[in-house]
Amino acid sequence: MLGPTATTCLSDVRLICDISCVGFLENGLRLYRFRYLWSVDHFIGVLAQEVRQILPEAVIERDDGYLAVDCEMLGFSMFKVDDWMDAVAASEADEEEAAFILAL
């Protein structure tokens, strides 16, 4: 088993809740809004179990048995929803698109 690296994101479906699909990456992977069982913060990211079906080399099984994703291999970084909203505002993206992702 491999350990996590600086570019891995813990995204095992067994550790997250309040999961809603909010879009897709260019490679077809779904993007989700979710939160970790231990957190009140919401994130935008992928699910390791889905990534494993499409790009298994991007999934790492941690020593504790949970799955993490090598975000660098996907060309994507997981964001807190608040940070994502800041990035949207900074890039002057369409406010309706941002509202769609948050409307759950």
2, part of any domain? no
Q: Is the pTM of this model over 0.85?
A: no
pLDDT tens string 33-47: 999 999 999 998 999
Percent of the chain having pLDDT more than 70?
72
Number of structural domains (the chain) is 1
**Residue 12 within a domain:** yes
Reported as a single tens digit per residue, the pLDDT across 65-92 is 999 999 888 887 776 777 666 666 666 5
Q: What size, in residues, is the chain?
A: 104
* 1 lies in some domain: no
Block residue for tokens 């994703």: 69
Beta bridge partners of 35: 17
Encoded tokens for 39 = 């957190």
The arrangement of strands across the sheet holding 16-24 comes to: 16-24, 30-36, 43-45, 79-80
Inside any domain, residue 14 = yes
Residue 3 falls within a domain, yes or no?
no
Phi and psi based region of residue 30 (left: phi greater than 0; alpha: psi -120 to 50; beta: remaining): beta
Domain annotation covers residue 77: yes
Residue range of the domain that includes 72 = 8-102
